[in-house]
Amino acid sequence: MPHARPVIVAANWKMNTLPADAGALAAAIERQTREPSVVRVICPPYLCLEAVGRALDGTGVAVGAQNVHHETAGAYTGEISARMLAGLASWSIVGHSERRRDQAETDAQIGRKLVRCVEAGLRPILCVGEQLEDREAGRAEETVRRQLEGCLAVARPDGGVTTDLVIAYEPVWAIGTGRTARGTDAAAMADAIRAACADFGVEWADDIPILYGGSVTSAAIGEFLAEPAIDGALVGGASLKVDEMAGIVARAALTAAARREAAAVS
């Protein structure tokens, strides 16, 4: 049931902030988003993980990485393995649309990243989503299903898909393009994602939290969180603004409260 799933707001700072200012930003966001019913995660650049971790120590806000490598170690100059993040992060984004685009990450590699996250005790946020040409051609759900199956084919046999899995739906066609996705678009895709996971043999597919990740703002997030199939947001540029994060988390808290009330009635 929707009310059984946690409501999650994850901040992806991308290639922004420096160690000198990241801790102060994280602390300011934490002070303005104290909603115990919402799971809060901040994913700064690698170099800022320690500073952010210090700033958030004991606050209940989790720290996440933006990526991990699909191998445990080796001759991969400039890369970071999941086990290197021990003590610095407890979550990690994998398969973000920008890495699929810029680093040509494949679904098989992303599946292996899921395995590495589980081995290292990191809770993964798996990103999936379609390009504009896929949506216009009516292939949106087919594309996302193919991405999921490509990841799960690698991760599932090796135990990379556990009950900790979180999935973020990124409508790539609506990110920085001026086009707008609707809450109904995201809800339909969330249903398709859970169905695809169930078809692949994931017994707890209905319990997988699904986040919306398409140019999230405090003004727009309400439409998405009003959908029972959506369980939070993966926030990009807006996550660097304290007021924006405060608004997003406040709206997420309303969703969490409504789900608690629904659970009590049922």
So which residues are the catalytic ones?
96, 170
Three-state DSSP at 8 gives: strand
The DSSP annotation for 39-65 comes to EEEEE--GGGHHHHHHHHTTTS-EEEE
At 116, the amino acid letter reads: R
Contact 95, 112 (CB under 8 A): no
Residues in the chain, overall count: 266
C-alpha of 199 from chain center = 22
**Do residues 31 and 232 touch, judged by C-beta distance below 8 A?**
no
Residue 147: alpha-carbon gap to chain centroid: 15
Of 218, 220, 227, give the one whose Cα is nearest residue 186. Answer: 227
Among 117, 125, 47, which Cα is nearest to 83's? Answer: 117
CA distance 251 to 253: 5
CA contacts within 13 A on the Cβ side of 203: 2
Only one residue has tokens 């199939």, namely 229
Please state, in angstroms and rounded to a whole number, the distance separating the CA atoms of residues 164 and 5.
11
Instruction: Read off the tokens for 36.
Output: 């115990």
**C-alpha 154: how far from its chain's center?**
20
